[in-house]
Amino acid sequence: MIPAKLPYNETERIEVLNSLKILDTVADDDYDNLTELASFICSTPISLISLIDTDRQWFKSKKGLTACETSRDMSFCAHAILDPLEILEVPDARKDIRFIDNPLTQIETPVIFYAGIPLNTEQGIPLGTLCVIDHKPNALTSEQKEALKKLGKQVERLLLLRTKNNELTITKESLKKHNGLLKEFASVVSHDLKMPLANLILTSDIVKKKYSNEIDDKGKEYLDYLKKSSLSMSDYITKILDHYECISYDIDDTQQFGINDLLEDVIDLMSIKDNCEILTPEKNIDINCNSTALQQIFINLIGNSLKYGDKEKTIIEIEARDNNDFYEFKIRDNGRGIEKEKLETIFGLFVTIGHLDNTGEKGHGIGLSTVQNLVESLGGIITVSSELGSYSEFVFTIAKRL
């Protein structure tokens, strides 16, 4: 018996194999289906998906074999990975110098025939094989070899998918850690910036009241300006925190709810005045998604319609549709509208269109950027159309989540 040599890139190969986190995992139908097919196509009692570890070969999937692993020194597959591009076929192991006296050829159900196709990464690093085994001499036809190669490609795709999923898991954990730090930062910002602003607002009120007889009208005007600026800055900080808070929503945290039930909660939160009418969808369709994220979208869009309404009566129409793969929502108001040349940039962070709201304040350019981030995180897109002096209409979709 001649044990297989180590591949020239053995250290890198073992690192890649370990990074898959696949060794010693439970059986998987996706892999088992391929070994079943390999055994059937090649007419062999045994087929394996074998991964070559440092000192063993471990079977991710096995057909016709009870053992989970064997020593690498005895492994036929350890020889197969030395030529990553070709099938290793051994018609009769008892007549092959590499496998004479191999313990696997001496057992009650011996390995006599072997054919294995290496399983490679995208970079060409062999991790193991898809192999078929017989207890008697055998040989594959050209059609069987071609089929075994194609099945090997399917195993490689499964391994690649596992790699991508592992990378996504790592990225998700990193984002969770980042979001945790962001929340801590938001808490510090809220305390260290908003509290002094609150003190400024309170102090300006106290000074204006206590020293009213000693301050002339110009001084009172300055105090009002100080209070107004402080309130504006406090609101600005709140919106920034809301914008980055939306990134930390767990989009996978889904619930099922009626769209009109959610909209009723939004309307209750917003203290709608008598000169505004909100028309909700005729049908209360069921939605399955992150309700907090969708609620935040509607709060921002309805809030804009209220702030920039210029008609005697503000009318906001909301529609909802259940399409095959996504939900579609439309919100239209009869407000002052948006200039055509500004529609393309309206979703940019800190981008404003220059209009003053109904309280005489200029927007911060944060709300619509937040909306777009939320829509995209829910697997959808958002568009806007408008006619100056007539209406604004936002249409957005979110992907259905099973």
Count of beta carbons in the 10 Å neighbourhood of residue 263:
21
pLDDT at 347: 86
Domains 10-163 and 249-402 share a fold: no
How far apart, in whole angstroms, are the C-alpha atoms of residue 347 and residue 364?
12
The answer to whether 287 and 256 are in contact (CB under 8 A) is yes
pLDDT at 116: 97
What does the angle CA 89 – CA 93 – CA 99 come to, to the nearest 5 degrees? 105
pTM of the model: 0.55
**Bridge partners (DSSP) listed for residue 317:** 279, 332
pLDDT at 214: 87
User: 10-163 belongs to which homologous superfamily?
Assistant: GAF domain (3.30.450.40)
First to last CA, the chain: 54
Q: For residue range 112-139, list pLDDT tens digits in order.
A: 999 999 999 999 999 999 999 999 999 9
- In sign, the C-alpha dihedral spanning 373, 375, 379, 380 is negative
pLDDT at 90: 97
Per-residue pLDDT of the chain (402 residues; tens, 9 = 90+): 899 999 999 999 999 999 999 999 999 999 999 999 999 999 999 999 999 999 999 999 999 999 999 999 999 999 999 999 999 999 999 999 999 999 999 988 999 999 999 999 999 999 999 999 999 999 999 999 999 999 999 999 999 999 999 988 888 888 777 777 776 776 676 667 777 778 888 888 888 888 888 888 888 888 888 888 787 777 767 766 665 566 555 556 688 999 999 999 888 878 788 889 999 999 999 999 888 889 889 988 998 898 888 898 999 999 999 988 899 999 999 988 888 888 888 888 666 666 666 666 666 667 788 889 889 888 899 999 999 889 999 999 999 876
Ranges of each domain in the chain: 10-163, 249-402
Arch. (CATH architecture) of 249-402: 2-Layer Sandwich (3.30)
pLDDT at 191: 67
CA 307, distance to chain mean position in Å, is 34
| Residue of 377, 21, 380 lying closest to 165 (CA atoms) | 21
Q: Regarding beta strands 326-333 and 391-399, do their DSSP bridges make them parallel or antiparallel, or are they unpaired?
A: antiparallel
Strands, E assignment, 28-172: 46-52, 56-63, 69-71, 88-90, 113-120, 126-134
pLDDT at 248: 54
Q: Which residue bears the tokens 């909700």?
A: 280
How deeply is 38 buried, as exposed, middle or buried, from its count of CB atoms within 10 A (0-12, 13-18, 19+)?
buried
The answer to whether 316 and 308 are in contact (CB under 8 A) is no
At 315, which helix (H) or strand (E)?
strand 314-322
| Residue of 200, 248, 247, 250 lying closest to 225 (CA atoms) | 200
How far apart, in whole angstroms, are the C-alpha atoms of residue 35 and residue 155?
10
